[in-house]
Amino acid sequence: MELSKASIAVTGATGFLGGYLVHRLRARGARVIAVVRDREKAHRLLPPDVEVRLASLDDPTRLAAAFAGADAVISNAAVISFRTPSATLRTNVEGTRNVFEALVRQGVQRAVAISSSAAYPLSYRNIDERTPLQPLRRAWFGNAYGQSKAESERIAWQLADRANVALTTFRPCGITGPADPLLMANIERALSARFAVLPAFTTIGVVHAEDVAEAVALALEQPATASGKAYNLQGETITLWQFASAWRAAGGRAPRVRLPVPLPLALRYDDALVRSELGWRSRSLSSIVEEAVRVRPELLRASGDAAHS
């Protein structure tokens, strides 16, 4: 697919990752269709040349209308919540079903679904794309999001296979960046205290949202390679102690004392496939943290001003 001649519909375009997807696709010359629920928010956050179409995940008819004329659809919108497990599971699963039924109805032949590494069962082994996703069980606050992403991805593959839609799915680890409202916000909050309790022997993956958007663009540009594939996006493998050290080295506020709590959990997801097949690269922890320390204070001030205006 030559993106400079393509129209790409993005659900959840005003969300954290959605904004990076829109900007990366525009940088490649694509015509972007932002499929959102709030037109005013879209006009405030997105560039003026992005076409805005209103639709919610629970409205298949509006979704189908929003996908009219699209050469590809990026299924990105999802709920990330650990407080309402049943609603999280229902919203994400049924929302994915509605998105894929709508794009099939419109005759769209190319799709990308943003899944998550949380779709895998917890394991100490090095997980690659051949590892089965976790089965659907009773959802509770600790597993609802992962359950929803696993089941959503299964539904996406089923509907895509049935309609001969060329599908690529991505399973990123902790997506972050300066405006990240989850991982970055929680780590920053923990590091702003005088004394911080941090898990020891815990390894996680962090990947910049812009790098996730780049992976999506590469997959769209290389359909012969990426169609029918799932790709892990582990990014940088770190411990929270390394993150705290990088945060302090970049000039961020850091605790005087760090107290270790033993938690031997190594979450490692092999992303060699996307690197070898699509030529994807991820940025280093130091560059992620340096950007956040430099940019995040201004973003927080701007969001506070917007909230009070």
In three-state form (DSSP H/G/I as H, E/B as E, the rest C), the secondary structure along 59-97 is CHHHHHHHCCCCCEEEECCCCCCCCCHHHHHHHHHHHHH
More confident residue, 10 or 190: 10
Q: How far is CA 234 from CA 170, 208, 258, 282, 283, in A?
A: 10, 10, 26, 9, 11
Q: How far is CA 213 from CA 10, 23, 152, 222, in A?
A: 11, 9, 20, 14
pLDDT for res 124: 62
The answer to whether the beta carbons of residues 234 and 140 sit under 8 Å apart is no
pLDDT for res 280: 98
What crossing angle do the helices spanning 183-191 and 240-249 adopt, rounded to 10°?
70
What letters, b where the CB count within 10 A reaches 16 and e where it falls short, cover 13-28?
A: bbbbbbbbbbebbbeb
Alpha-helix runs per DSSP H in the chain: 16-27, 39-45, 60-66, 85-105, 144-163, 183-191, 209-221, 223-226, 240-249, 272-278, 285-308
Answer yes or no: is pLDDT of 202 > 50.
yes
The span from the CA of 174 to the CA of 180, in Å, is: 10
Answer yes or no: is pLDDT of 307 > 70.
no
142 three-state secondary structure? coil
pLDDT for res 141: 67
Answer yes or no: is pLDDT of 196 > 70.
yes
Q: How far is CA 253 from CA 195, 197, 221, 289, in A?
A: 12, 15, 41, 12
Q: What is the mean pLDDT of the chain?
A: 92
Please state which of the ranges 14-18, 62-66, 124-128, 178-182 shows the lowest mean pLDDT. Answer: 124-128
Answer yes or no: is pLDDT of 164 > 80.
yes
The answer to whether the beta carbons of residues 166 and 109 sit under 8 Å apart is yes
Residue range 223-281, pLDDT digits in tens = 999 999 999 999 999 988 898 889 989 999 888 888 888 888 888 999 999 999 999 99
164 three-state secondary structure? coil
**Looking at residues 205-225, what average pLDDT do you find?**
98
Answer yes or no: is pLDDT of 305 > 60.
no
The amino acid at residue 78 is A
**Looking at residues 120-134, what average pLDDT do you find?**
88
The answer to whether the beta carbons of residues 184 and 176 sit under 8 Å apart is yes
The segment with the largest mean pLDDT, out of 135-144, 179-188, 220-229, 235-244, is 220-229
What is the reported pTM? 0.94
pLDDT for res 308: 45
pLDDT for res 152: 98
Percentage above 90 pLDDT, the chain: 72
pLDDT for res 304: 63
Domains parsed from the chain with CATH numbers: 3-174+206-234+267-282 (3.40.50.720)
Answer yes or no: is pLDDT of 81 > 60.
yes
Token output for 75 = 């299924």
Token output for 259 = 């107290």
Which of 129, 155, 154, 17 has its CA nearest to residue 74? Answer: 17
The answer to whether the beta carbons of residues 207 and 235 sit under 8 Å apart is yes
Residue range 93-106, pLDDT digits in tens = 999 999 999 999 99
The answer to whether the beta carbons of residues 252 and 293 sit under 8 Å apart is yes
Which of 206, 201, 204 has its CA nearest to residue 261? Answer: 201
Where on the phi/psi map is residue 126: left (φ > 0), alpha (ψ -120 to 50), or beta?
beta
More confident residue, 308 or 224: 224
Which of 169, 59, 197, 34 has its CA nearest to residue 112? Answer: 169
* Cα first-last separation, the chain: 42
Answer yes or no: is pLDDT of 140 > 80.
no
pLDDT for res 260: 85
Using pLDDT thresholds of 50, 70 and 90, give the confidence band for residue 13.
very high
For 110-132, give the DSSP string.
EEEEE--GGGSPP-SS-B-TTSP
The answer to whether the beta carbons of residues 222 and 188 sit under 8 Å apart is no
